[in-house]
C-alpha cells in the first residue's frame, strides 16, 4: 500500500455493479451456482478489464476486480474453496450459533423486522443477499432450509480459483499506474456462524478457518497485489450475541484479531488491509457497537491498512476516536466517505471535509479514501454507484489541495 505523499489516494471497499453479460448467467445474483459454469468464467476476463478501466476513468488509484466472482454474496464464494465445511439440511435440534445480524436492533424495532425482512440482511435492492423484502430465508449461516456445519478439518482447496482471480486482475491493470486489491473473506464470517461437529471448541474453528484462508491471502500478496480481509463480524459480533457485555465482546474481537494474524503469517503488511463494517443491511443500526469500544484492538491486526465504515450517520462522528487511539506508525487509515445506506450522491465538499477531519488527526500521508462497504450491490442503480465514486475522487482532489497547499 502506498502512503498519500502529495495527494489523498482514492480507493474503495468492495463490490461494483456487474455487467449484464454476467448478470444474465446468474439471474442477477440469485443463482450463485451460475458463476460455476464455464461460460461465466469465459466472460470474466473481459468483465474485469472493463471494470478496471471504469475505475481508472473515475480517478480511483487502488482498483479491484468488482468482486465479480462472488456472484451471490461477499462470502458465499469461499465454500467452493474450502473442505471440511458443508451445507446440511437444517436441524431443529441444532441450536443456531448466533442471533444473526441485527440481533439487538430487532428487539427495539419488531415492526420493522416483521414488515421489511431484508433490513436484517447485508444486501440491497440490486443484490438482496440472504434476506429479501417479504421473503424469510433464515438466519446468518443458513440458507433457509440448510445450515453450515464444520464436519472435518478445514483446508483450503481453491488454489486454481485464486490463480484465476489473480490472473484476470493482473492482466487488467497491465500498463496502468494503479495498485490493485482482491477482497477475501475473514474467518469469523466463515467459521463464526457454522455449527461445529469436528473441533474441540468453537474458538478452534475460528483459528482453523483463519489458517486455511491464509493460503488465499498469501497467494494474493505473493502476486504483488493487496489482499483486503473482509470481516464485518468484528463489529457485528455485538449484534450476533445480544447477551454479551462490552468486555465479553472485546475479548471475542481480541481473539479474532489473533486468529487473523495467524492467517497473515507470510503476508507482508504492505500488501494487506482489513475491512470491517457494521453489517450493511438497511436497518436502524441504533445498537451498533461503538468504535471507541474496540478501535484499540483493531490496530493490533498485522495489516497496513484499516478500511472502516465512517460515512454511515451512526458512525460519522467517530473520527474523534483517533484522537485517543493513536494510529501506529506506518499504518494507513481508510475511512468510508461514501455511504451505501443512501442513494443520495455525496457532495465532493462533504467528502473533502470528512477526509480532512481524519487527516488532521492521523496525518495526511496516512489517509486514503474508502467506501463504507461495497456499493455495487446496495444502491438503487448503477448510475448512482458511478456518480458516488466520481464524487469521491473529486472530493479527494479538493481535500488534497487544502492539505498540500
- pLDDT tens per residue, range 217-240: 999 999 999 999 999 999 999 999
Cell of 158: 481453491
Query: Which CATH number is 20-83+155-403's, of 3.20.20.210, 3.50.50.60, 3.40.309.10, 3.30.1340.10?
Result: 3.20.20.210
Q: How confident is the model at residue 369 (pLDDT cuts 50, 70, 90)?
A: very high
C-alpha pair distances (Å), 166 with each of 40, 48, 65, 182, 203: 16, 11, 9, 8, 31
**pLDDT value of position 232:** 93
Between CA 246 and CA 244, with CA 340 as vertex, the angle to 5 degrees is 15
Identify which has the larger pLDDT, 256 or 376: 256
238-267 burial, b at 16+ Cβ within 10 Å, e below that, comes to bbbbeebeeeebbebbeebbbbbbbbbeeb
**Position 137 pLDDT exceeds 70:** no
Residue 96 DSSP code? -
What are the b/e assignments for 80-100, b being 16+ CB within 10 Å? ebbebbeeeeeeeeeebbbbb
Average pLDDT, the chain: 91
What percentage of the chain carries pLDDT values higher than 90? 75
Which region among 53-57, 111-115, 323-327 has the lowest average model confidence (pLDDT)?
Answer: 111-115
Q: pLDDT of 274-290, one tens digit each?
A: 999 998 777 889 999 99
Higher pLDDT, residue 120 or 256 = 256
CA distances from 233 to 11, 164, 193, 396 (A): 22, 28, 10, 29
Lowest mean pLDDT among 130-144, 155-169, 302-316: 130-144
The whole-number pLDDT of residue 111 equals 83
Percentage of the chain beyond pLDDT 70 is: 92
| Confidence band, pLDDT 50/70/90 cuts, at residue 132 | very low
Helix axes 382-403, 348-362, angle to 10 degrees: 50
Residue 404 per-residue DSSP state: -
Tell me the C-alpha distance between 346 and 342, whole Å: 9
Amino acid at each position: 500500500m502506498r502512503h498519500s505523499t502529495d495527494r489523498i489516494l482514492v480507493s474503495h471497499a468492495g463490490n461494483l455493479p456487474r455487467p449484464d453479460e454476467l448478470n444474465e448467467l446468474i439471474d442477477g445474483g440469485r443463482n450463485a451456482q451460475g458463476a460455476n459454469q464455464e461460460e461465466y468464467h469465459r466472460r470474466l476476463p473481459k468483465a474485469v478489464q472493463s471494470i478496471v478501466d471504469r475505475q481508472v476513468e473515475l480517478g480511483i488509484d487502488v482498483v479491484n476486480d468488482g468482486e465479480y466472482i462472488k456472484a451471490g454474496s461477499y462470502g458465499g464464494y469461499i465454500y467452493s474453496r474450502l473442505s471440511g465445511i458443508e451445507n446440511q439440511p437444517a436441524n431443529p435440534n441444532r441450536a443456531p450459533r448466533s442471533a444473526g445480524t441485527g440481533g439487538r436492533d430487532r428487539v427495539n424495532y419488531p415492526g420493522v423486522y416483521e414488515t421489511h425482512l431484508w433490513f436484517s440482511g447485508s444486501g440491497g435492492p440490486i443484490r438482496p443477499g440472504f434476506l429479501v423484502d417479504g421473503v424469510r430465508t433464515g438466519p446468518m449461516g443458513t440458507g433457509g432450509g440448510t445450515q453450515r456445519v464444520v464436519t472435518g478439518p478445514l483446508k483450503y482447496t481453491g488454489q486454481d480459483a485464486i490463480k484465476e482471480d489473480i490472473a484476470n486482475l493482473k492482466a487488467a491493470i497491465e500498463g496502468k499506474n494503479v495498485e490493485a486489491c482482491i477482497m477475501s473473506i475473514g474467518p469469523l464470517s466463515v467459521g463464526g456462524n457454522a455449527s461445529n461437529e469436528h473441533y474441540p471448541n468453537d474458538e478452534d474453528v475460528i483459528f482453523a478457518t483463519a489458517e486455511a484462508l491464509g493460503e488465499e491471502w498469501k497467494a494474493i500478496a505473493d502476486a504483488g497485489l493487496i489482499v483486503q480481509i473482509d470481516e464485518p463480524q468484528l463489529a457485528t459480533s455485538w449484534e450476533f450475541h445480544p447477551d454479551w457485555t462490552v468486555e465479553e465482546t472485546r475479548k471475542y474481537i481480541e481473539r479474532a484479531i489473533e486468529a487473523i494474524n495467524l492467517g497473515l503469517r507470510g503476508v507482508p503488511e504492505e500488501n494487506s488491509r482489513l475491512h470491517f463494517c457494521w453489517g450493511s443491511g438497511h436497518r436502524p443500526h441504533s445498537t451498533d457497537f461503538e468504535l471507541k469500544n474496540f478501535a484499540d484492538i483493531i490496530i493490533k491486526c498485522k495489516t497496513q491498512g484499516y478500511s472502516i465504515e465512517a460515512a454511515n450517520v451512526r458512525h460519522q462522528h467517530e473520527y474523534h476516536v483517533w484522537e485517543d487511539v493513536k494510529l501506529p506508525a506506518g499504518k494507513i487509515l481508510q475511512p468510508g466517505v461514501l455511504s451505501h445506506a443512501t442513494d443520495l450522491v455525496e457532495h465532493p465538499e462533504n467528502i473533502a471535509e470528512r477526509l480532512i477531519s481524519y487527516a488532521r488527526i492521523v496525518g495526511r500521508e496516512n489517509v486514503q479514501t474508502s467506501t463504507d462497504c461495497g456499493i455495487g450491490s446496495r444502491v438503487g442503480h448503477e448510475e448512482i454507484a458511478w456518480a458516488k465514486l466520481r464524487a469521491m475522487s473529486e472530493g479527494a482532489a479538493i481535500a488534497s489541495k487544502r492539505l498540500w497547499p
